[in-house]
Structure 1
C-alpha cells in the first residue's frame, strides 16, 4: 500500500524536471514529446462520435483551461516502469494524460474525447542538464557512520518545477541546515556555514528521494542521507505549452489544430499505498501481547512521553508510508505462531495530501511483525 507530497521525483540520480542519474534514469528532456497513440475516443469507426455527430460533422477547437491542478501517482509525471532509452520523459507522460483525459485540461474536453485521430505535444521547458553530479547513491549512502533522517510530516510541502529547481532552492548552507533540522539531522556543534549538497540523488521504495548532505563538525566531515517523500513535492509549471495536431476524419467530427496553448500546471504527487513490514524483532512481554498499544510501543511507534498515542513520523519511517495520521486498530497473534502478530492501523492523509488515487479518505493497512517474547 503506498503511501507518504524537494510535495517529486526509482525513480526519485535524476535529470531534467525529473531525472536521476545512476540509481535513477532520466525523466524529462528539454524538447517536446508527442503522444502518438491513436486516441481514446469511442469505438465507432470513421472518426468516432455518434451517428448524429457524423451527420453534423462538427469541428472542435481545443480551448485550454487557464489553470490545471491534478493529483495522483508519481508515474503520471515520471516513468517508473521503463529504463534507459525506453523511459518516457515528463513531456510525453503529460501529453498522454491529456489525450486520455482531455476534460481535465480543456473546457471542451468532453467533446474532444469523442473524436479519433488527433494528437498532443507538450513543452514544459524542462532543463535536461543534470546538476546532481558525483557519486551514485549506492556509493555515498554506504559510507560508514552516515546519519539518516526523513523530512517530517509537519514540514511544509515543496513546490518545484524540476529537480534542478529543487537543488537551486537549497543554494545556501542556511537553507540546507534548516531542512536537515526539520528531518532530525540536528548537530548542535556542526559549523552552520559548512552544509553542502553533494553527489547524485537516490530513489528507493518508489516514493523516497535521497539527498547527500555534508557538514563539518570538530574538523571532521558529517555525511548525511536526507530523505524526502515524493508526496511532499508538488510539480508547478507556469505556462506549460500544449499543442494539438488536427484530426482528418472524412466523416464525423474533427479536432482543429492549435499551437502553444498555455496553462499553469500543478501536480500533487499522491501517497503510495504500500507498506514495508518491519524486519527487526523487538522484545515484547508475553503479558502484553493482548494490548495493541503495548505491542506498538515495542515496535517504537508511540509518542515520547505519551505511550497512548502513535507518533506519525515514527510509524511512517518504519513502514515507508508517509504524510499520514495513524490510529491503532488491532494486534492479533498469527494462528500457530508464538511470536508473530498481524498489526492493523488506520491511515489518513494529512491536510493537503492525497493517496495516489486522488482521494484523502481513511484506509486500513495491515502488516506482520515478529517479536522476541520475554517473561513467563
Structure 2
C-alpha cells in the first residue's frame, strides 16, 4: 500500500508524469515550529539536475504546505504537502505502449492492476519518493529537537569502487585453508568506525557523488561518467548512521527495529540489498570475536565495547550508533538498444528515450535519511505511548530486585522515552 508507519503515518501519492506528487502526514506532534524551508532542504538534495552525474530533468521540486501548519507551528492535524511536476515529458515513453521495459515495473504493474501509467514508471518511479523525503524532513526536525538525533547517509560504493575499509582488502582474505582460518579482519576498520561517528552532511555534500572520501569520490565520478558515456548505468551502495537514539526502542517480534529499517529501505525504488551492523561480513567471524561485550561508558551508562550489532540487539536499540547499508541496482533505463519482447511476446529491439540517472546512489542519500527518520519517529512515538501509559499506574512493590519497575523505565540515557 501507499502508507508507512503506525503512530507517524505517511501516505504518498502521485505518478512520475502526473500533475503533482506529495504526501499526507498524520500523527505529527503539535507545537513543532516548522517552515517550508525545513522541508525544502532535503527535497533540494534529492532533486534531479544537480550535476552531470544525474538526470537532466529540470524539476525545482518546490514544496507547498497545504494543511496542518499555522503561524509556523504544527497543529497536530494532518499535514498536506504538494510538489508540482513541471518538466515532465510523457511523449518520451510512447515505446512502452508496445514494450515492457527490461527490469522495469511496466509488466508487473500491468499484471497486478490490469492497467498501468502510460508514461515513466508511474508509482514505481523514484519521483514518488518526493513525498517520503518531505515527510522525513519533518520527522527529522522533531527528532533533532527532542532527542538530539542525527542521521547522516553517504555513498560508500559505486560499481567496484569502494570507500576504504568497507570491504576486506584482498590481501587479508585467506586463499587457502579458508574453512579452518578464523583470522578474519574486522568487519569495519577503526577508520571507518570513526567516520561513522563523526561524518556530517556538509562533508557528504562537498562532492557530487556524496562520498565523504575525496580520493574515492573522484574514482566514483570517473566510473559514473564511463557508464554515462557508454549510454549505460551502474549501481552502488549507501551507508547510513543514526546517532543518539535512546535504548529500548523497537517492537519485537515482528516489528523489530532492524526489520522496520529493512522494510523502509527495501521499499525505496532500485534497492536490492540491506544489511545492518557487521552484516554479511559478520557471518564469517566466530562468536568469540564478534560478540559486543558490555562496558560502563564514561557517562556512567552501560554500553558496548564494539558495535558489530549496529546499535540493535533483539530487535531493540541498545543506545549505540545504528548503522546499515543498502544496495541499489544499476538503473534499468539505459539508452542502448536492447533485445527484448513486446507485450504479446513478439521479439524486438527497444531503444529507450527519456532522461535518467546513470547512477542513482548520489540522489538516494536524502531518501535513505528520510526513510530512516520515519522509522525512528514512528518507533519512538510508540515507545513513548507505552511509557506514558505505564507511568500512570501505581508503583509495584512486589517485584524482585532483578526486575526494573515501570517508574525506572520512564528515563533511559537521560531522555524521557
Normalising by structure 2, we get a TM-score of 0.24
Q: Higher strand proportion, which one?
A: 1
Larger Rg: 1
Q: Higher helix proportion, which one?
A: 2
Normalising by structure 1, we get a TM-score of 0.25
